[in-house]
Amino acid sequence: MHTGQSIVCLSALVALCLESAKAAVVTSNPQASVDLKCRHDARDIQPHHFGVWPPPQEITETGCGIRLNGDVTIVTGDTADEPTISLIKTIVTSAGGKATVSTKPTGKGTQILVGTGAENSFAADAAQELTGQAATDLDAEGYVLATGKVDGQLSVVLNGVDTRGAFYAAQTLRQLVDDRSGVPGIQARDWPLMPVRGSIEGFYGIPWSHEARLDQFVLYGQHKMNTYIYTPKDDELLRRRWRELYEGDDLDKLQELVDTANANHVDFTFALSPGNDLCYSSEDDFNATVAKFDQLRDLGVQRFYIALDDIPTDGFHCDSDDDKWPHDQEWHWLADAQACYLNRVQQEWIEKHGLDALETVPTNYAGSQPDPYKDRFGTQLDKKVRIQWTGEGVFSPNVTVESVVRAGETYVTDTLFFWDNFPVNDGDFSRLFLNPLTEPANGPVYDAKASMDEALRELAGRDEDVHEALVAFVDLNQNWPYREPEIFAPALSKDIQEFWAAREKGGGGPLRERLQLLMKLPELLSRMDMKGFATDVEPWSTAAMQWAKACQHLVAMLEALDEGDKTKADEEYGEAKAWVKKTEEKTVETLDREGNPDSYAPNVGDGVFESFLGDATAVYEGTG
Ligand SMILES: *[C@@H]1O[C@H](CO)[C@@H](O)[C@H](O)[C@H]1NC(C)=O
Ligand SMILES: *[C@@H]1O[C@H](CO)[C@@H](O)[C@H](O)[C@H]1NC(C)=O
């Protein structure tokens, strides 16, 4: 921005504020040992020991468990939220029960009372009776979940402060009941610490597949993430051809995405990027913008976004803009034009249709230091428009309260929200970044390691071999270069260190075992629950397998040298080099910044395999 060229943009997949949204769990399966006993001494257990991810803010085991494997009445009042009711039905059915829906209590069987206070006074009254407090005063999307007897009837209460809160209560129930025929005696109060939680598909390269997006919306709903921002840089109808409407298959797919997002209580946010050739003052372009938005609004989208990142900053694209906003003040011409256009969309279209406030990312979207563009943009912009920002850098290792407060002042806004470019790889397509989210913008009950462990369990599924393989694979992709201290394949590094230290004494068992496991990676990962993950990482899992084979030959070469068998050593070294050669194949397919096909060799192991090769080669060549 300051040099007058377009900002280098590496924007991509973003974990927005993942505050209440960590998928994660404990190494041992805590659910296996839980039966439906009574607990009379209400006592706190660590929130993440209940197998609910993210862990609720407050959760206590108390009173008796309730079985759901008989007749269960779902008492709804006026609650009509289909995703919530069908989720509860599924929970009851998978616990072995028979669910019936009724607007009022029936006095029969076990009951699940669900809804907000306004929709279902039975649920709010029961929450009050069982816990002393209904959900009324909680922050948006909060809920109370409680079990106990209400009017003598065994009851589970799912009382949301709003509709989404009730849905989240049902998601918590799902995890509490998982693997059991009922729910333990529980009282929980939960609420998100951040209002926007989810991801932004805003990277360069091949966009996510339709199937990947659908899978993600389910996962977001299960883990209380409420936002998906659709803005892949390589959807031409968002950028280069933004004025054209969607049609045919593209439109059908968008409809399915919006429906699936809505069914999982995820706000599908449509983000247009017209800035490469937009004429800010043009009536035609304003009309084209709202015509495009109208098309998405017809599909059920409620939230809209105009992205102004990664656009040329050397001038306008039409004479009318040049006339209207002469280049007389440093960057004011651009900020004024952008604010004028955004304000018009907010005031003449968003407000007319009663939609959520417009969102935007400014052209200069990073840092909290003042500059003329940021100040002017924020000053001119309608105060309702929400501004997204990537922190102190394009990749920000952390976000501090001080920095957010300063950025709010710099951008003259109260609506700043964070665009986290972790773990985006469009700055290095050869890499995967599979390390835990350790940024400090997390709540008190968040535990990066526990969360990571659970995420891997969920992705892997129940097969222990598959889980072990996934853990070993993830270890090979731990280096996130934007954060200190840098970490390099820690478990592999440890085994290699041990190998060198113990080689004389015939050690190195752990390394040999790890290489055996890595050799089987492609096959084991293909059996993961989340099949799409295995498919997406195939170039890297294959390269890891090839490196493992190479390293096995290097180990055999070293043994042959120790035994004085030079012929065998030569042979093994040759085999090793042949496997290393295979890792250099460009199997990662992507697109360059112009959208043309491009490919890279996968980079796996954080450089640790290469070091081992170097050290082994030094021994082979007699210099080690
Ligand atoms: C833009 O749309 C409005 C409302 O539909 C219409 O009145 C106006 O003529 C359009 N302007 C142009 C330049 O097409
Ligand atoms: C945030 O990251 C920066 C850059 O790595 C570092 O200098 C700073 O100490 C970090 N601050 C906190 C609070 O972690």
User: What is the per-residue DSSP string for 489-504?
Assistant: -HHHHHHHHHHHHHGG
* Closest ligand relative to 281 C-alpha: 1
CB of 486 sitting under 6 A from ligand 2: no
pLDDT higher than threshold 50 for residue 604 = yes
* Closest ligand relative to 486 C-alpha: 2
Instruction: Looking at the CA of residue 290, tell me the nearest atom of ligand 1.
Output: 2
Q: How far is the CA of 343 from the centre of ligand 1 (A)?
A: 17
DSSP helix/strand/coil, 222: helix
Q: How far is the CA of 274 from the centre of ligand 1 (A)?
A: 19
Nearest C-alpha to atom 5 of ligand 1 is from which residue?
A: 287
* Closest ligand relative to 282 C-alpha: 1
Instruction: Looking at the CA of residue 282, tell me the nearest atom of ligand 1.
Output: 13
DSSP helix/strand/coil, 358: coil
**pTM (two decimals):** 0.90
Q: What is the mean pLDDT of the chain?
A: 91
User: Under a CB-based contact definition with an 8 Å cutoff, are residues 397 and 439 in contact?
Assistant: yes
CB of 438 sitting under 6 A from ligand 2: no
C-alpha distance from residue 200 to each of 208, 308, 454, 475 (Å): 11, 15, 22, 25
Q: Which helix (H) or strand (E) holds 92?
A: helix 82-94
C-alpha distance from residue 471 to each of 27, 92, 475, 486 (Å): 12, 33, 6, 19
CB of 397 sitting under 6 A from ligand 2: yes
- The model's confidence at residue 45, banded by pLDDT at 50, 70 and 90, is low
* Closest ligand relative to 403 C-alpha: 2
Give the pLDDT score at 23: 28
Give the pLDDT score at 32: 32
Instruction: Looking at the CA of residue 400, tell me the nearest atom of ligand 2.
Output: 13
Instruction: Looking at the CA of residue 397, tell me the nearest atom of ligand 2.
Output: 2
Among 10-19, 29-38, 304-313, which stretch is predicted with the lowest mean pLDDT?
10-19
- Ligand 2: residue of 398, 400, 404, 418 to mutate (most ligand atoms within 8 A of CB) is 398
* Closest ligand relative to 438 C-alpha: 2
Nearest C-alpha to atom 9 of ligand 2 is from which residue?
A: 398
Using CA atoms, how far apart are residues 24 and 52, in angstroms rounded to an integer? 8
- What values do phi and psi take at 331, rounded to 5? 65, -5
Nearest C-alpha to atom 3 of ligand 1 is from which residue?
A: 287
Q: pLDDT per residue over 436-451, tens digit each?
A: 988 766 777 888 999 9
Nearest C-alpha to atom 12 of ligand 2 is from which residue?
A: 398
Nearest C-alpha to atom 4 of ligand 2 is from which residue?
A: 397
DSSP helix/strand/coil, 376: helix
DSSP conformation letters of 94-157: HTT-EEEEESS--SSSEEEEEEETTT-HHHHHHHHHHHS--STTSPTT-EEEEEEEETTEEEEE
Instruction: Give the Cα-Cα-Cα angle 399, 434, 266 (nearest 5 degrees).
Output: 70
366-383: average pLDDT: 96
User: What b/e string do you get for 165-198 counting C-beta neighbours within 10 Å, with b at 16 or more?
Assistant: bbbbbbbbbbbbbeebbbbbbbbbbbbbbbebbb
pLDDT higher than threshold 60 for residue 579 = yes
Q: pLDDT per residue over 12-31, tens digit each?
A: 333 333 223 332 222 223 33
Neighbours of 249 (CB within 10 A): 9
Listed in sequence order, the residues at least 6 apart from 44 whose beta carbon sits closer than 8 Å to its beta carbon are 60
Best mean pLDDT range from 263-267, 433-437, 506-510: 263-267
The structure tokens listed for 169 are 């209560």
Instruction: Looking at the CA of residue 286, tell me the nearest atom of ligand 1.
Output: 1
Give the pLDDT score at 585: 98
Give the HSE-up count for residue 501: Cα atoms under 13 Å, Cβ half-sphere: 8
Q: How far is the CA of 218 from the centre of ligand 2 (A)?
A: 34
Instruction: Looking at the CA of residue 484, tell me the nearest atom of ligand 2.
Output: 5
Instruction: Give the Cα-Cα-Cα angle 185, 191, 197 (nearest 5 degrees).
Output: 125
List all residues whose CB is within 6 A of at least one atom of ligand 1.
Answer: 283-284, 287
DSSP helix/strand/coil, 187: strand
Using CA atoms, how far apart are residues 81 and 350, in angstroms rounded to an integer? 25
Q: pLDDT per residue over 458-477, tens digit each?
A: 999 999 999 999 999 999 99
pLDDT higher than threshold 80 for residue 41 = no
Using CA atoms, how far apart are residues 328 and 74, in angstroms rounded to an integer? 66
120-135: average pLDDT: 97
Neighbours of 514 (CB within 10 A): 20
Give the pLDDT score at 259: 98
Using CA atoms, how far apart are residues 323 and 326, in angstroms rounded to an integer? 6
